[in-house]
Copies of this chain bind each other. A is one copy, B any other.
Amino acid sequence: MKPINVGLLGIGTVGGGTWDVLNRNAGEIERRAGRAIRITRVADKAIEHARSVVKGRARVTSDAHEVTRARDIDIVVELIGGYTVAKDLVLDAIRHGKHVVTANKALLATHGNEIFAAAQKKDVMVAFEAAVGGGIPIIKALREGLSANRIEWIAGIINGTSNFILSEMRDKGLAFSAALKEAQKRGYAEADPTFDIEGVDAAHKLTILSALAFGIPMQFKRAYTEGISKLTREDIAYAGELGYRIKLLGITKRTKKGVELRVHPTLVPEKRLIANVEGVMNAILVKGDAVGPTLYYGAGAGSQPTASAVVADLVDVTRLITADPEHRVPHLAFQPDRLSDEPILSIEAVETCYYLRMRVADRPGVLADVTRILADSKISIDAMVQKEPGEGAKRVDIVMLTHLALERNVNAAMARIAKLPAVAGGVTRIRLEQLL
């Protein structure tokens, strides 16, 4: 069969990895796909850099539209990132009848509905395995591997930078700022780390997973996003003493009231496999009604792991390129005319368990006041410990784990507790999930 010609937009970290993997494993890939897959055109603003990578084995241009419109290109790979230029190029490629492979989670989470609709109209595929979990084939698992299941929930470590920071904080007893510096030193965090540490990147990825799991449109704007920058060493240590690890999880769950879509630091029992995922690795736990809990683990970022997903998509698209479009796996796992309109719940409507920590004056009656307020808000306590933060302290830390409670009620109780004269500095609240 005739080779598949790929046009590559962006030959930076992931693009360079894709060039590398596709060339290095060309033989193995052809043995699998049944035909050669080769990058014949590359577009990059840094044209000299692009030339130095490609070494004459593909046509290089600084004008990406040359690639999206080239008659000799079957599949366009978008690895530029960002929302604006990337969006124009992806839509231009679709308009010109090209299949698209992209790693761009920000683009899909915010403009995915529009992009998939355009692709649908032109009978082309938009593949995006690399958008979530780097090289972990989690998109394929959700779209195909678990297709027998009614998915109940997903909980994932889907941002390696935050997971590295949390691992460092726990392992070495570092403060957040010191752990962030270490991550930056190692190249795991950018100079402006906001997207990673404030949960935005994770929320992009979770939005995609949620759409695939439940057959709903992408609704990034409705995601609740809370990062790790306010976590303290003390909370990580207290959680540890209670048998929990704190992880930044993206959680999406189908409930009777609607779909939960939330990213936040989460206490997880240390016995769970996902609690033991350390450093920049990612892991996604998926609970299906038939299969039960399943977990997918691997490198969530990096040149070669992400390229692994990009190239797997190229093989998939290659296989389906002649297939009847009706028989392809739908972009969002469910047939586009069969999407559901289940609403995304506000965080106030979420019901989960909580870790609550407050620093209080060490005198009689305080605990009675606190527990009374919790009881008034229908919050029942599962476990409680009292800690002395330092020698001769006149204050103690009270840490409570609650049973299932409604977030709205927890907010109300926290506000009332913070007003107690014996309580200093408000209440620290971290959500807790059993993940069973």
Q: What interface size band does chain A fall in? A: 35 or more
| Closest Cβ–Cβ distance, residue A274 to chain B (whole Å) | 9
| Copies of this subunit | 2
Distance (Å) between the CB of A64 and the closest chain B CB? 23
Residues on B with beta carbons closer than 8 Å to the beta carbon of A198: none
Query: Chain A 322-338, CB within 8 Å of chain B: the 1/0 string?
Result: 11101111100111001
Q: Is A140 in contact with B150, judged by CB distance below 8 angstroms? A: no
> How distant is A321 from chain B, measured CB to nearest CB, in Å?
8
Q: Mark A127-150, 1 if CB is under 8 A from B, else 0.
A: 001000011110011001111111
Docked-complex contact A148 and B289, CB < 8 angstroms = no
In the docked arrangement, what's the CA distance between A34 and B330, Å?
Answer: 9
Q: Are A296 and B299 in contact (CB under 8 A)?
A: no
Q: Judging by beta carbons under 8 Å apart, are B148 and A290 in contact?
A: no
Report chain B residues within 8 Å CB of A305: 290-292
Q: Which of A245-253, A311-319, A410-418 binds B?
A: A311-319
Q: Report chain B residues within 8 Å CB of A49.
A: none
One of B295, B299, B316 near A298 (C-beta < 8 A): B295
Asked if A21 meets B319 with Cβ closer than 8 Å, knowing A290-B308, A295-B298, A308-B290, the reply is no
A55 at the interface (CB under 8 A from B): no
Do B145 and A312 touch across chains, with their CB atoms under 8 A apart? Answer: yes
The distance in angstroms between the C-alpha atoms of A326 and B146, with both chains bound, is 25
Q: Which of A267-325 contact B (CB under 8 A)?
A: 273, 276-277, 283, 288-299, 304-305, 307-312, 314-316, 319-324
CB–CB B32/A147 < 8 A: yes
Contact of A34 with B311 in the complex, beta carbons under 8 Å: no
B292 near A299 with CB under 8 A, answer yes
Measured CA separation A293–B296 after assembly (Å): 11
A-B contact pairs, 7 of them (CB 8 A): A30-B338, A32-B147, A137-B141, A140-B145, A289-B304, A292-B305, A320-B327
Q: A-side interface residues toward B, CB under 8 Å? A: 1, 17, 21-22, 24-25, 28-34, 129, 134-137, 140-141, 144-150, 215, 273, 276-277, 283, 288-299, 304-305, 307-312, 314-316, 319-324, 326-330, 333-335, 338
